[in-house]
Each structure stands twice: as structure tokens, then as C-alpha cells.
Chain A
Amino acid sequence: MTATRSNPVLAIRNAEKQFGAVHALKGVSLEAHRGEVLALLGDNGAGKSTLVKCISGVHGLDAGQIFLEGEKVSLPSPAAARRAGIETVYQDLALFDNLTPAQNFYCGREIAFPSWLPAGLRFLSSRKMDREAAAVLERLKVKLPKLESPVALMSGGQRQAIAVARASVFARKLVILDEPTAALGLRESRKVLDLVAQLRVEGNAVILITHNMEHVLELADRAVVLRQGRKVGELKPDRNNQQQLVSLIVGAES
């Protein structure tokens, strides 16, 4: 089915995950490629979030493998996933309200010196971080009122844009977006969607979780549908198979 024009950045083979009696993932396999937006679809409880949490290191898989650029990896923590080049933008708790955009950008991976000191005792290269964050926001055309004020003062869309921009800078392999527009109005959603398209142009692999069919049709190069922990379909979404996609999601196959 998949057009394998390149080797997948991310490949998941037969992922299994169980939470007590709940079998959240039942042998799910999928691939993500550079320069491609993969929509991950499914009704609530289909296993999308669980799968994404396994990829971003929040949960471990019970069985199955994760390959990054052909190499088998284990991702025991979110920090390990980030080190491996996987960035995740969560719907909420994406940003630190009390920090500026630049401080948010580099939180947890501050540029600091001297390198012989333990990480926590190093001194921040604040000006360098400010400069580089500003350059990235400029490049991605994210407009913010003031770069030196805390993000608490910024709108939902501006905050989500900062989170996506941050992910794009540090993702060397894959950006995962978990319902990035769920809490946003129309205009602000627009901006975030443009940003997602920009991520693709810059050669990232993107996994997009969304409930919005319009966004899927507009952005996704490929869609994978999960239902009750199983992968039930994979296709290239367009206007003609939109109905098929919906019936795959809700499980009303004819």
C-alpha cells in the first residue's frame, strides 16, 4: 500500500500495549516518512494517544519494536525520545506560562557553559538562546506581540505556534502533533495548520492526530485509522474516499 520512496524514519512493528484489562494496542504497525504528514485517525479510545505516547517515550510497549531510520530503539522516557530526535506537541501542558518564548524553546536543553560543570550548575547563554529562538520564529513566520514577555500573555494560537516551532527546531526525525488545533478558533487553527505544512516542507516526518476531517484532507499525505487498538485501514485521503475514511473510523463498513 505505502509508497516507499524512501526508507521510513519511523517504523513500528506489531505494537502491543495493555493497561490491566484494557488491550489498548493490538499488533499495530505503521511507518512515517520524511516530508510527509501522516494522519493518525480513530474514534476516542481507539488507541491513537496510547500509540503516540509509546513513540514519545511516555509509555513503554509490552511487545513489538520501534525502528528509527532502520535502527531498533527503546524509548524509556520522554527525554530519551527527544534525544532520539522525536518531538511531541501535546494538546495541553505544552508550554511554561511563566517563561518567555525563548526560554520555553530551550527548556530542558539550555545552551550553557562551561561544559565541564554538571548540567544544572552551568551558566545560561541567554542572549544566544534569545537570538536563535527569534530567528526560528521569524523563519516560520510566527508573529508574537513581545518576545520578552512570558507566554502567559499570549493567545492559544500563539502558544501552540510556539510549541510547534519549538518541536520543529529540535526534531531531527519526527514531529508528533496531538490535536494541535483542538482548543483553537478558526483563524488561529489556520496559522497552526500552515505551520504544520511548513514542517513538511522542511523535511520532517509529521504524525498528526486530529478529529477534523477537513484538516486531514488538506494536509495529510497518508492516513492510518485505528479502531479498538487495531489498525483497520491505511489510505491516501482525498474527497472521494472521505466517506470510506469516516466509516473506517466509526466501524460501519458496508
Chain B
Amino acid sequence: MVNIAGDRPVEAGMTSEVRAHHGLSWISLGLWLLGVGPLLILVVLVGVIAALTPDFLKPGNIANIVSQTAVIAIVAVGQHLVILTRGIDLSVGANLALATVIGGLVYRQVDSAFLVMLAMVLAGGAVGAINGIAYVFGRLPHPFIITLAMLSICRGLALELAIGHTTMRGMPDAIAVIGGASSFGIPNSFFIVFGVALLIFVMAKAMVWGRWTYSVGGQPDAALRMGIPVKGVLISTYVISGLCAGIGAVVLAGRTEAASPLYGNLLELDTIAAVIIGGASFLGGRGHIGHALVGAMMIGVIRNALNLLGVDVFFQMIAIGLIIVIAVEADVLRNHLEGRARVLQAARVS
């Protein structure tokens, strides 16, 4: 009985090994293409649009895209951490609106850019903390419902606090500079995106916290058995997502020099779309900061291009929806290929 394991017909072994080897090379290529796919698509997209409309690559328009995409990018960076742990944060848009309103109220009391910014960022972080704590300690099966509830609560609270105003004009000068002005010809909001992304990148890739985040997303039960503080990790991702919404609020309020309870409408969908079309897995555990940024850029470029081409705004929504479908199918394909790779590995004589 035991010997059978060792003895195999040599010829059959060879051919199956060779076949397995070929299969694995193809699968590696496929997985590599899926990995760089979003970036590739973005580059092709930019090339095609540049050929169609000469206005597209003008510095003014590029700066325009960057500043319009900055808010999506910043908030998507937070969203990608939540999605990494198999979660979702539907409250980010309403959270951002509430943060701008709170900032606007603070501005009415004191003309301090620092205090207004602090209020916005902390308000965002506080909403994130409520999301995370309610999700983890409320023993909810999925964060969908709690963040949906927070979407409603934040939007309602923002409207209530703004007392009937749809816009609260005025922001401290420093915030207007952060959100609206440029340095060295580059919009300042770009530097905010860069800074936030760099910080999260370091945390996710170089710090123990990041490794824990990936393991919680990869196998929550195993993470618990490995002694990883799963609850703390989950809460931290929602807090960071909220903080990012707060930072997004600073940028948006700065660019428009106003606060509004109507800001960030459908931002949750834009950021989730950005993370997914950027190439992160909706199933958790797979993804990095580049995915969020590439996805946000893609959304920004498509919107801008369709505007330049004079395409109807409704069609923009359809286009982004179609890209989401493609991205999700690519994720399914990736899982399928990995499954094939496992089988072929087992078939290999090692």
C-alpha cells in the first residue's frame, strides 16, 4: 500500500510533468497580465483619448483631472484597506459631507485653518471608529448594514447641522490653498494624495499592522488562531477609512471654498469602483495602494474625456458600470487561474 505512493510509471510522469509545466507558464503569464491589466488599460485609455481630443493632454486639463480626482483617490485609499479585510465602507460620502459641515461650523466660530482642518479630519475618523466598533462588537455578519446606516445618519446629521443651507460659503485661506491652488504647476491636492498614499503604503507593506491586515483579509479564522488581534485590525481599517474621508473633506472644501451637506454624493460608489477596477479583489486579502490610485485615475480620466468629447453625463455612469463588470470578471478569472495552478502543481513530479 505504502509503496504505491513512491512508484509511478516514469513515462506517464514525464509527459504529465511537461504538460503541467507548460500549463503553469501560461497561467503565470495570465496572472501577470491580470496584475498589470488596469495600469495597461489606463495607459491605452490615455493614448486613445489624447488621439481623439488634442485638448486632453494640455497641462491645464491634466491639472484639472488631478484636482477633480484627488478626493476620490484619497477616499479610495481608505476604502481599499476596508475592502482588503473583506469589508466595505458605504458611509464615506456622507461622512465627507458631514465633515465639511462640521468644518464650516467651526469656521463660523474661529478663523483658524488648523482648527477647521482638525475638526474635519477628526469628525471623519470618529465616524469611522463608530463603523468599526459597531461592526466588531455588535457582532455583525458584514459591515454593509452598519456603514449603510451611518451613510443615512451622517447625511441626515449634515443636513440638520447645516440648518437648511445647501452650501456654507467660506473656508480659511490655508484650506483654500490646499484644495484649490497649485505649486510648481502641480495642484496642491496632488501632494495630499501623494502624502496619504505614501503613508498608507508604508503602513501596509513595511509595518506589522499591514501584514496583519492582509492576513485578516486572507483568512480571518486563521488570523484569530495565529493570535492576531483581528478586532483591533478591523476597527483600525474603518478608522483610517474615516480619516481619509475627513482629509478628502479638507481638499473638497478647500477647492470649492465651501462646506455642503450635499457633498460626496455617491462617493462611496466611486471609491469602491476605483478600488475594484484598479485591480484589488472584492473577496479580500488582495490589493494594494496602486490599485486604488490607478482606479481613481481611470474614473477621473473617463469622466474628463467624455466631458471633452461632449458625451452625455448619463453615459459616463454606464461606462464606469461596464468597467466594473469587467474588473469583477477579471477577479473571477484570476481565482480560476490560481485554482488551475494548484492542480497543475500537484500533477508535477517534484
Chain A residues close to B by CB (< 8 Å): 58, 77-79, 82-83, 88, 90, 93-99, 103, 107-110, 112, 119-124, 143, 145, 152-158, 185-190, 214, 218
Q: Are B4 and A96 in contact (CB under 8 A)?
A: no
- Could you pull out 24 A-B pairs where Cβ atoms are within 8 angstroms? A78-B224, A78-B225, A82-B227, A96-B214, A96-B219, A96-B285, A99-B214, A99-B215, A99-B218, A103-B211, A107-B211, A121-B209, A124-B206, A124-B211, A153-B31, A153-B341, A153-B342, A154-B342, A155-B342, A155-B346, A185-B346, A187-B8, A190-B6, A218-B2
Q: Are A189 and B208 in contact (CB under 8 A)?
A: no
Number of interface residues of B (CB under 8 A): 40
Q: Are B218 and A98 in contact (CB under 8 A)?
A: yes
Chain B residues close to A by CB (< 8 Å): 1-2, 4-6, 8, 24, 31, 206-209, 211-212, 214-215, 217-219, 221-229, 232-233, 285-286, 338, 341-343, 345-346, 348, 350
Residue of B nearest to A213 (CB): B1
Report the bound CA distance from A206 to B232 in whole Å.
34
Q: Are B222 and A93 in contact (CB under 8 A)?
A: yes
Report the bound CA distance from A36 to B1 in whole Å.
23
Q: Assuming A120-B209, A124-B211, A153-B345, is B6 touching A108 (CB within 8 A)?
A: no
Residue of B nearest to A88 (CB): B225
Q: Assuming A82-B227, A122-B208, is B222 touching A96 (CB within 8 A)?
A: yes
Report the bound CA distance from A153 to B207 in whole Å.
25
Task: For A96, give its contact among B2, B209, B215, B345 (CB under 8 Å).
Answer: B215
Q: Are B342 and A152 in contact (CB under 8 A)?
A: yes
Task: For A145, give its contact among B5, B285, B345 (CB under 8 Å).
Answer: B345
Q: Are B219 and A97 in contact (CB under 8 A)?
A: yes
Q: Secondary structure at chain B's binding surface: helix, strand, loop or mixed?
A: helix
Q: Are A158 and B345 in contact (CB under 8 A)?
A: yes
Residues in chain B near residue A157, CB distance under 8 A: 346
Report the bound CA distance from A170 to B315 in whole Å.
57
Residues in chain A near residue B209, CB distance under 8 A: 120-121
CB proximity of B233 to chain A, nearest CB, Å: 8
Q: Are B342 and A110 in contact (CB under 8 A)?
A: no
Q: Are B218 and A77 in contact (CB under 8 A)?
A: no
Residues in chain A near residue B31, CB distance under 8 A: 153
Residues in chain A near residue B285, CB distance under 8 A: 96-98
Q: Are B218 and A121 in contact (CB under 8 A)?
A: no
Q: Are A119 and B208 in contact (CB under 8 A)?
A: yes
Q: Are B208 and A121 in contact (CB under 8 A)?
A: yes
Report the bound CA distance from A185 to B6 in whole Å.
12
Given contact pairs A82-B227, A93-B225, A120-B208, a sample of 11 additional A-B residue pairs in the complex whose CB atoms are under 8 Å apart: A90-B225, A107-B215, A120-B207, A121-B209, A122-B208, A143-B350, A145-B345, A155-B343, A156-B346, A158-B346, A190-B5
Residue of B nearest to A143 (CB): B350
Q: Are B5 and A186 in contact (CB under 8 A)?
A: yes
Residue of B nearest to A145 (CB): B345
Residues in chain B near residue A214, CB distance under 8 A: 1-2
Report the bound CA distance from A95 to B212 in whole Å.
13
Q: Are B5 and A121 in contact (CB under 8 A)?
A: no
Residues in chain B near residue A122, CB distance under 8 A: 207-208
Residues in chain B near residue A110, CB distance under 8 A: 208, 211
Report the bound CA distance from A110 to B205 in whole Å.
13
Report the bound CA distance from A186 to B207 in whole Å.
40
Q: Assuming A120-B232, A158-B345, A214-B2, is B208 touching A93 (CB within 8 A)?
A: no
Report the bound CA distance from A152 to B283 in whole Å.
14
* Pairs A-B, 3 closest by C-beta atoms: A79-B227, A108-B226, A155-B345
Residues in chain A near residue B350, CB distance under 8 A: 143
Q: Assuming A96-B219, A155-B346, is B4 touching A186 (CB within 8 A)?
A: yes
Residue of B nearest to A112 (CB): B208
Residues in chain A near residue B228, CB distance under 8 A: 107-108
Residue of A nearest to B281 (CB): A98
Q: Assuming A153-B342, A156-B342, A185-B346, is B207 touching A96 (CB within 8 A)?
A: no
CB proximity of A12 to chain B, nearest CB, Å: 20
Report the bound CA distance from A88 to B215 in whole Å.
18
Task: For A78, give its contact among B4, B208, B227 (CB under 8 Å).
Answer: B227
CB proximity of A190 to chain B, nearest CB, Å: 4
Q: Are B221 and A93 in contact (CB under 8 A)?
A: yes
Report the bound CA distance from A82 to B228 in whole Å.
12
Residues in chain A near residue B343, CB distance under 8 A: 155
Q: Assuming A96-B285, A99-B215, A214-B1, is B223 touching A108 (CB within 8 A)?
A: yes
Residue of A nearest to B1 (CB): A214
Q: Are A98 and B286 in contact (CB under 8 A)?
A: yes
Q: Assuming A154-B342, A157-B346, is B5 touching A97 (CB within 8 A)?
A: no
Residues in chain B near residue A154, CB distance under 8 A: 341-342, 345
CB proximity of B188 to chain A, nearest CB, Å: 29
Residues in chain A near residue B233, CB distance under 8 A: 120
CB proximity of A96 to chain B, nearest CB, Å: 4
CB proximity of B116 to chain A, nearest CB, Å: 29
Instruction: From A78, A94, A120, A157, name the one whose CB has the most chain B CB atoms within 10 angstroms.
Output: A120
Residue of B nearest to A157 (CB): B346
